[in-house]
Amino acid sequence: MIKPKNIPTSEEINKMVSTVVEELNITTRFLETKEYMQHGHISVYEHCIEVAYTSCYLAARFKIDVDYWSMIRGALLHDYFLYDWHIAGDNSHHFHGFTHPKRAFLNALHDVDLNFVECNIILRHMFPLTFVPPMRREAWLVCLADKICATKETLHFTHTDAAVKYGSVRES
């Protein structure tokens, strides 16, 4: 059977996500995100991997032509804010929902080179809470995947369809 252009198989998606996770584990502070909780018992690290898988799953399922490598990198770094937003302390994280995309963007920019798609994914993933909408298909998909994953995590339904379908790199 002939595959539509640029629609990877589940094995190819699994390999791409694993490759980028391993690269970021070495070249950035991505492993530090294991220390910070996101929703329920899910760490920011696990959340970002789930969002990457879910974005790929949506693109493949609906045959949307995307730059998978950039979408995965952007998804993995979309919450790269590197603090525990549950700890109010000095109230500096009071507006976390509004401010963390910029913080994640600046942290990522400090550690790696980002292309336009990756920048747009990180900066616009909280739309519509933050008012400016995404400008790229990849950024729209990550924005949607983030909400799907956040909802499942908040409801303690932690194993997403994407993670089951494509396997998991939770322990890496």
Query: Per CB under 5 A, does 46 bind Fe ion?
Result: no
Q: How many residues bind Fe ion (CB under 5 A)?
A: 2
Please name the residues in contact with 137: beta carbons below 8 A apart, sequence gap of 6 or more: 59, 64, 65, 66
Stretch in the footprint of Fe ion (CB under 5 A) among 17-25, 85-93, 105-113, 140-148:
140-148
The dihedral sign for the CA sequence 101, 150, 112, 32: positive
Instruction: Kindly identify the residues of this chain, within the stretch 79-118, that bind Fe ion according to CB under 5 A.
Output: 79
DSSP state of 86: T
The closest of 115, 119, 92 to 104, measured between CA atoms, is 119
**Choice between 65 and 161, CB closer to Fe ion:** 161
Among positions 146, 160, 162, 168, the unique one binding Fe ion when judged by CB under 5 A: 146
Instruction: Show the CA angle centred on residue 153, arms to residues 71 and 125, nearest 5°.
Output: 35
Cα separation, 22 vs 172, in Å, equals: 8
Instruction: Kindly identify the residues of this chain, within the stretch 54-83, that bind Fe ion according to CB under 5 A.
Output: 79
**Choice between 9 and 151, CB closer to Fe ion:** 151
State in angstroms the smallest separation of the CB of 56 from Fe ion.
Answer: 15
> Residue 127 has which token pair?
């739309």
State in angstroms the smallest separation of the CB of 8 from Fe ion.
Answer: 23
Contact residues toward Fe ion (CB under 5 A) are: 79, 146
